[in-house]
Chains A and B, each alone.
Chain A
Amino acid sequence: GENVEQHPSTLSVQEGDSAVIKCTYSDSASNYFPWYKQELGKGPQLIIDIRSNVGEKKDQRIAVTLNKTAKHFSLHITETQPEDSAVYFCAASKRDDKIIFGKGTRLHILP
């Protein structure tokens, strides 16, 4: 079955700097890669996703990249702000199948 590895488990960056979280997946049939942000006391919230027919997608300060050959995908947050502090999860799935989540990255934005 699918296995998603996520790194790092904890990341601290200075406010205004960029943050990058990387994930790998094992099942070449996976074609959908969402990213979730979980704030304290809340459920994970979908913030951006990318499908296998696209290499990059951007939404304001957030971008995701996908390398299908290497089975890597990454989340990039630019100009980080205090409200970006949260736990971020990457995930992978095939059509109409369950979503497999990474273990999460705790992002700290330092003032």
Chain B
Amino acid sequence: DAGVIQSPRHEVTEMGQEVTLRCKPISGHNSLFWYRQTMMRGLELLIYFNNNVPIDDSGMPEDRFSAKMPNASFSTLKIQPSEPRDSAVYFCASTLGNEQFFGPGTRLTVL
């Protein structure tokens, strides 16, 4: 298995632009998580899905952030409009039972 796949690996954009991050979980895993990591705040859970259904989005910072999981093999995290304070590494992780496996992350820079 290729593990959790994220794209793009790096994204540089200008303030106000829309950003879409993509994730393909490990096949057969039933939960998917989106995290944000910064030096100041560490690893923050943004939202997670069980069987494609959003369960807890309390970590989503504000309405500019949205996430979807249209099927078991794909999820997106969208930021519209983006702001410089959104600059971070965004991780997707998938889980079967308790064991959670992370993707390589997307490093987002908003200028």
Q: Which residue of A lies closest to B59 (CB)?
A: A98
Report which B residues bind A (CB closer than 8 A): 4, 31, 33, 42-43, 45, 48, 50, 55-56, 91, 93, 95, 97-105
Q: Report the number of A-B residue pairs with Cβ-Cβ less than 8 Å.
A: 45
- 4 closest A-B pairs by CB: A43-B102, A32-B98, A44-B102, A103-B42
User: Apart from A43-B102, A43-B104, A96-B97, what 15 extra A-B contacts exist at CB < 8 Å?
Assistant: A34-B98, A34-B100, A36-B102, A43-B91, A43-B103, A44-B43, A44-B102, A46-B100, A89-B43, A95-B98, A96-B31, A98-B56, A99-B98, A99-B100, A104-B42
Contact of B99 among A34, A103, A104 (CB under 8 A): A34
**A36: chain B residues within 8 A (beta carbon):** 102
